[in-house]
Amino acid sequence: MWDAIWTGGRLATMAGAAPYGAVEDGAIAVEGGRIAWVGPAAELPGRPDDLARERHDLGGRWVTPGLVDCHTHLVYGGDRAREFELRLEGASYEEIARAGGGIVSTVAATRTAEETTLFASARRRLSALLAEGVTTVEIKSGYGLDLETELKQLRVARRLGEALPVTVRTTFLGAHAAPPEYAGRADDYVEAVAAMMPEIADSGLADAVDAFCETIAFSLEQTAQVFEAAVENGLPVKLHADQLSDLGGAALAARFAALSADHLEYTNEDGIAAMAAAGTVAVLLPGAFYFLRETKVPPVDGLRAAGVPIALATDSNPGSAPLTSLLTVLNMACTLFRMTPEEALAGVTKNGARALGLAASHGTLEAGKAADFAIWEIERPAELAYRIGFNPLSGVVKAGRRL
Ligand code: DI6
Ligand code: FE
């Protein structure tokens, strides 16, 4: 006997050859938090009532894998609404960053914030994501820029995963910006970040290491130094690459077998080829593109042609993407980047999981994977990307448990 079975629904398994991996009149059985069986109800090995202790009728609704938001900066203090006003008066994101605003202002607010305050504000943002079917989220540090505050952010991220029904993967982003005490001494700060790595790894609070490789942040050489320290300490890497200029960040990420290279607006052909060869996932962040009014669209055709898996994420952060709606990201990816609704959904399921190193356990509806799925009141999966600001979620199952 399985723990529970869901029947009478349509499944977008995101696995197999059919569009969306669709199964009409499908069934999903769960056992011990995992999917025990999934497929057409007609192929079940018996009558549903005889197969499971609990039975649920999906009433013709669609089921997708639980959504994965594979790039967020959810834990931070303060807000940047004033900076938003300044940008509307004509200041650019780079100008504000150079003038000591931007990331550094959030760093000041995050350093002084109590852990309970950080937890409460991040919990509200995370809850907004979960209300749209997210069951796995990545959360970065990067607003502490000293060991103590980076660990504080990572602890809050871990605690969020314990308090809410969501799998949290954490990322150490010490190399997000040089903090004020290292102003004009980026090389020294990079050395300090590399020196934090053993303690970060020993803490068990970080699942990966990220850096911001950009003219206004860290160079290729500085990024490589951070990555070397990460690899020495057994942590996989990912990179904010080629967001505002073509520094060759994607190729550097690939050289370190990065899980993902993210943003990629300016990534060139060589970067794409290197990512394809290394199996590095492209994480596109249309929310930041929209909010910064970028005009350079990431090379979606080139990524597609090279067979690089494309994931999508909110990049939820106070400066460039104050956004807590992954469904909105699906629409933006189609409208702004000309991705298909099917590609967009794959970007927040199968490929999002892959970007977190969770391809074997998450991201598709397949036997053996985590029983994380979302149930939607829709007629066709494309609706998830088509509507704006409408939430058709009707239920979520996390690790086999109905929420
Ligand atoms: N790229 C981004 O878009 C965010 N960080 C990064 O490396 C912006 C973070 C911020 O402005 O607070
Ligand atoms: Fe980011």
Q: What is the pLDDT of residues 345-365, one digit of tens each?
A: 999 999 999 999 999 999 999
Q: Which residue out of 74, 94, 103 has the highest number of ligand 1 atoms within 8 Å of its CB and is therefore the one to mutate?
A: 103
CA of 178 to the centre of ligand 1 (A): 13
Question: Ligand 1 within 6 A of 287 CB?
Answer: no
CA of 273 to the centre of ligand 2 (A): 23
Q: Which helix (H) or strand (E) holds 69?
A: strand 67-69
pLDDT, mean of residues 103-125: 97
For Cα atoms 19, 23, 29, give the angle at the middle one, nearest 5 degrees: 135
Query: Structure tokens of 341?
Result: 């609704």
Question: Ligand 1 within 6 A of 211 CB?
Answer: no
pLDDT at position 18, please?
96
Q: What is the pTM of this model?
A: 0.97
Question: Ligand 1 within 6 A of 130 CB?
Answer: no
3-state secondary structure of 394: strand
pLDDT at residue 99 is higher than 80: no
Question: Ligand 1 within 6 A of 101 CB?
Answer: no
Rounded percentage of the chain residues whose pLDDT exceeds 90: 95
Ligand nearest to the CA of 217: 1
CA of 130 to the centre of ligand 2 (A): 19
The chain-wide mean pLDDT, for the chain, equals 97
pLDDT at residue 7 is higher than 80: yes
Q: Residue 236 region, left (φ>0) first, then alpha (ψ -120 to 50), else beta?
A: beta
State the number of CA atoms in the 13 A half-sphere of 22 facing the CB. 13
pLDDT, mean of residues 313-337: 98
pLDDT in tens, 238-257: 999 999 999 999 999 999 99
Question: Ligand 1 within 6 A of 105 CB?
Answer: no
pLDDT in tens, 264-299: 999 999 999 999 999 999 999 999 999 999 999 999
pLDDT at residue 400 is higher than 80: yes
CA of 319 to the centre of ligand 1 (A): 6
